[in-house]
Amino acid sequence: CFRSLAVGGKNGYRIFSLSSVDRMDCIHRGGESPDVYIAERLFSSSLMVLVSRSTPFRMNIYHFKKSTEICNYSYSSNILAVKLNRQRLIVCLEEALYIHNIKDMKLLKSLLNTPPNPKGLCALSVSLSSSYLAYPGSFTAGEVTLYDALNLNTVTVISAHASHVAAIAFSASGTSLASASEKGTVIRVFSVPDGVKLFEFRRGMKRYVSISSLSFSADTQFLCASSNTETVHIFRLEHHSPSQESPSWSAYMGKMFSAASTYLPSQVSDMMHQDRAFATVRLSVAGMRNIAALSMIQKVLCLLVASLDGHLYIYNIDPQEGGDCPLVKKHRLFDGDDEAELEACGPSYAAAVATRTNPEPASSSYCEDVGVKRGELIPEHEFADGPVCLDDEQEFPPVSFQNKQLDG
């Protein structure tokens, strides 16, 4: 579930921890870099990846509890997104993707001349058993390339939509992938790794919208979609089984429509088989960028919405009845005259994994030569079973600063 939030802004970044609906604590304020527009945290560790508007081509990796820079990498053009899990770190440029081994930051693969991706759209699965990367597979059609970031090979290309893809997200298990089109009317869910369509939902028909985020619940039973409108939609992922009850008038009409759809144009037939939202949230402000996530807080399913207005909104969801969801709490992310810039760093699964163990002291030193494994960025024992937890004072060895320029 999602319990941590990283927020980049004019004066640096902040990390918040949500312990309950009513309590959200700022656990760190970082001023290492101004104008932060990408801030990604490795699970609940002290490892923080930052990109600043002052140097948008450079990625800095920090140990935020020690205020120490571990390394930095420069690229040939502006960084549009950074994704990371316990095995890989992905850097997305407009026409290239770089795959690093997160233990020692060795560059494993450069995917060059990828389809133009001006929004830096990509997703990385966070499950222990796999590390899938998804990114737009075409600039002219709604294709999604599914890439195995562990074995470094393309798995499949999914024909997700007729128009360009606007949003993609993996489930926590990495076995499902959700996508939304540029029009924002249809959201589809595919199985991973075979790319078979599992679900299809219609967000609306009246107007086209810009989908800003997609997010699964931890148990993959629900999927939420936020956009530039005032409504966040929550869909229930369940396959409908034939009713065992006595036939009703509505059931009879449903069968009639289903039968009739075989004689209708494919676009109309598809619409008749698309499910609608199970629950909705009405935001107080429309047209403002936001990022939404689903989380269990004190055994209650909640929707978290981080908005560019500088607030985190929490709504309760009825998992049985759905419908309109009430606002239960509003937390302020910035105070005074700070200007919030909530980017893709918003509520992320990686930042939400609970800590369970305390690490042992590490003795290896970080390698200054890329690709020579004389040491490790993160000790090997941190990658055993269980979530990454890097809170011990000895979790990182003495660091040699590394500056690396990647061309291409």
pLDDT tops 50 at residue 346: no
Determine the pLDDT at residue 370. 30
Question: What radius of gyration do the chain's Cα atoms show?
Answer: 22
State pLDDT tens for residues 90-124: 999 999 999 999 988 999 999 999 999 999 999 99
Which of 191, 193, 199, 236 is CA-nearest to residue 216? 236
Which of 90, 86, 91 is CA-nearest to residue 103? 86
State pLDDT tens for residues 124-178: 999 888 999 999 998 888 999 999 999 999 999 999 999 999 999 999 999 999 9
In the chain, the percentage of residues whose pLDDT exceeds 70 is 72
Query: Max CA-CA distance within the chain?
Result: 73
Determine the pLDDT at residue 398. 32
Task: Give strand pairing partners of 304.
Answer: 293, 314
Whole-angstrom CA distances from 327 to 204, 212, 234, 281 are: 23, 20, 15, 8
14-28, 102-116, 219-233, 252-266, range with the lowest pLDDT: 252-266
Give me the phi and psi of 214, to 5 degrees please. Answer: -125, 140
Task: Give strand pairing partners of 42.
Answer: none
Report the alpha-carbon distance of residue 226 to residue 210 in Å, rounded.
Answer: 9
Q: What is the pTM of this model?
A: 0.79
Determine the pLDDT at residue 240. 61
The string of DSSP letters for 284-322 reads SS-SS-EEEEEEEETTEEEEEEEETTTEEEEEE--TTT-
Determine the pLDDT at residue 353. 24
Omega cis (within 30) before 56: no
Count of CB atoms situated within 10 Å of the CB of 132 = 23
Determine the pLDDT at residue 58. 97
State pLDDT tens for residues 186-199: 999 999 999 999 99
- The pairing of beta strand 186-191 with beta strand 197-202: antiparallel
Report the alpha-carbon distance of residue 247 to residue 374 in Å, rounded.
Answer: 70
Count of CB atoms situated within 10 Å of the CB of 386 = 13
Determine the pLDDT at residue 111. 97
Q: Which residues contact 301 (CB under 8 A, 6 or more apart)?
A: 217, 222, 294, 295, 316, 317, 319
pLDDT tops 80 at residue 310: yes
